[in-house]
Amino acid sequence: MITPDDLVALIRNYNPTCDEALIRRAWNYGAAMHDGQLRHSGAPYFTHPVAVASLLTEMRLDDATIITALLHDTIEDTKSTYAEVETLFGHEVAELVDGVTKLTNLQLSSSEAKQAENFRKLLMAMSRDLRVILVKLADRLHNMRTIKSMRPDKQAQKARETMEIYAPLAGRMGMQWMREELEDLAFKVLNPEARNSILRRFITLQRESGDVISRITADMRLELDKAGLDGTVYGRAKKPYSIWRKMQEKNLTFSRLSDIYGFRVIVDDVAQCYAVLGQIHQRWRAVPGRFKDYISQPKNNGYRSIHTTVSGRDGKRVEVQIRTREMHEVAEAGVAAHWAYRDGTRAANPFAVDPAKWVATLTERLDSAEDHDEFLEHVKLEMYSDQVFCFTPKGDVIQLPRGATPLDFAYAIHTRIGNATVSAKVDGLRVPLWTRLRNGQSVEIITAEGQRPQASWIELVHTGRAKSAIRRSLREEDRERFIRLGRELSRVSFEGMGRRLTDKALTTAARALALKDADDLLARIGSAEISARAVVAQLYPELATLPEGEVDAERPVVGLEPDQRFRRANCCQPVPGERIVGITYRGKGVLAHAIDCEVLASLESQPDRWIDLHWLDGKHPPVHAVSLQLTIPNSAGVLGRVCTLIGENQANISDLHFLDRKPDYFRIFVELDVSDAQHLHRILTILSAENDIAEAIRVRDPKRQP
């Protein structure tokens, strides 16, 4: 354990004006409070707070944060009180220690409802002072470094919590080095065989090809010297967990994985960053699609750097990051840069993110969330990727979308296993099949001979692969029953349209719908995957628009919850017959966007807001507003003719105004109400065919408020 003198010396290296007396007093007070307490390893307990404080000195943090690290367990684990800490060390330190104590008491890997409430407390503590979470992250890092002394079940629990909560949080705060180490330490606990396998392969690779890092580093330095560029080059092998995750994401073996080495070039200014980039791309071939400029477009956690991947020696791919020294300090410290000291003064770093704004991105939905699930969904997506990685009992990793269940896991392994699933164990405990899986969990699927998928499973799974396999199995199991039902439904639908059902008609429809044969078509009709009316429409398009009852204009789509409100988005104005997707908007309910709407591109990072919608079959009333732009000659009677044509085709004009008036022509905006895409197409065709109308086009405006 380092002494008070050692700790003060570490702090004075970057902050010569530190309050040495207060730091020594905190060290002595913490040692006295924890006197006689031992860690699981048998070492004096106070070695832990001192190690946490030492970690924070590496980030050059202020005196209050270092003192908080020394005292962070005193209120919880000793006879010390908030009032005593406040009296001895001031209100700021007391508040920080109290905040860390509250975080320590949160069980972040507990049940969903409790987890949501604890997340609220975590974010509220962070919003008051981000230094609380910096101390907690350092506390977790030291605990993970010394985790071997804990019971195996406790190790697994802490490792999962680290992988699921603290590592993503560190990354979201810009502290990438800490995220990588936390992930790797958790990986070492959760899947030691996989980690050791990667380390062994690294040793083998180094024995076969020599020290690749030093050779490529020397090559890069030579290229910089040739160009007269002054920069520092660092090279390293990527962390085992980072490599493992990439192997799973790309479904590659270690031997086929290329960019397992990373290099950084640190220069003095931004201009040199781009000069280095040019020199590297001249010397080595750039890999297409692997270039990112985070200098011109920084990440939302303040990270700035240029990333590129090139083919280096022997065709090996290497990732290169190019940044200035200031950018490098921010990349290493992240949000911690706001409390960092240099030569006794706070480091004013122009590239670091404002902590208040950063926390706002996590807490903006804190008050608006109506229930636990909504809150968790919104907040977690701010920190996590869209995927979870779970382990089989043999240590293989299965990659699934967030929200996946053990049934998804089973079908991801093999359809046969999914179909035969009767139950599942997660981390050794039997769980319901609807349980949502989390990062780092080990899943064991229990199967039984003769088991078949249940119809209710469709609602339990999240992946398209699982849904498709379940439907296929259900269809095969009840195929004869569905065929009989499908034939009866088809007969009724054909007779309702004044046509007779024949085998030839069914075979023709099956071929048109790319199905195997008539029985396959009937089975799908019987299982409600295809409507009998759609088959009639395929064979007799002229009958497809015959009325079968008008669709309710207030709720013309399938896919909404009973209490969800629905509107069409103004930006793209989708109409029945066009493919749509629903997007939830706070205070506006669900808005339907056309599948090709430009606005959707900006929402790709928010998958929790997307809802699968489609229009109801049937006759839709002409109430769906669409916008047209017409160019007509400046002649008497032309505008009247336009209005007559629209009226004759059962469409109502709800708005009309002039966009441009010229001596020889007018451009006008017309908003009219149509029933569906076919109705709109008919009107546009008729208008375009009119001699007095030079142009008739539909207008969609992505800038228009949704």
CATH number of 4-190: 1.10.3210.10
Least confident of 101-110, 425-434, 659-668: 101-110
Per-residue confidence band for 251, with pLDDT thresholds at 50, 70 and 90 = low
Residue 265: which of 317, 220, 312 has the closest Cα? Answer: 220
Output 395 or 179, whichever has higher pLDDT: 179
pLDDT score of 367:
47
Least confident of 40-54, 297-311, 642-656: 297-311
The residue annotated as part of the active site, out of 77, 117, 374, 427, is 77
Least confident of 459-463, 547-551, 556-560, 641-645: 547-551
User: Do the Cβ atoms of 666 and 631 come closer than 8 Å?
Assistant: yes
pLDDT score of 528:
66
Please say if the pLDDT value at position 71 is more than 80: yes
pLDDT > 90: what percent of the chain? 27
pLDDT score of 300:
60
Please say if the pLDDT value at position 690 is more than 90: no
R_g of the chain computed on alpha carbons: 32
Give the CATH H-level superfamily of domain 387-475.
Beta-grasp domain (3.10.20.30)
Section 648-660 average pLDDT: 85
Distances (CA, A) of 415 to 80, 104, 405, 419: 58, 43, 15, 6
Least confident of 156-160, 248-252, 395-399, 644-648: 248-252
Three-state DSSP class for residue 319: strand
pLDDT score of 377:
45
Show me where the domains of the chain are located: 4-190, 194-340, 387-475, 478-543, 557-615, 624-698
Interval 508-528: pLDDT, tens: 888 888 788 888 888 888 766
The residue annotated as part of the active site, out of 76, 444, 477, 488, is 76
Output 237 or 93, whichever has higher pLDDT: 93
Section 598-603 average pLDDT: 84
CB-based contacts of 241, cutoff 8 Å, min separation 6: 180, 183, 184, 186, 187, 195
Average pLDDT, the chain: 82
pLDDT score of 381:
41
Residue 305: which of 319, 290, 286, 292 has the closest Cα? Answer: 292
Please say if the pLDDT value at position 444 is more than 60: yes
pLDDT score of 573:
93
pLDDT score of 369:
43
CATH topology classification for 194-340:
Beta Polymerase; domain 2 (3.30.460)
Verify whether residue 77 is a known catalytic residue. yes
Verify whether residue 76 is a known catalytic residue. yes
Per-residue confidence band for 387, with pLDDT thresholds at 50, 70 and 90 = low
CATH number of 624-698: 3.30.70.260
Least confident of 234-243, 403-412, 525-534: 525-534
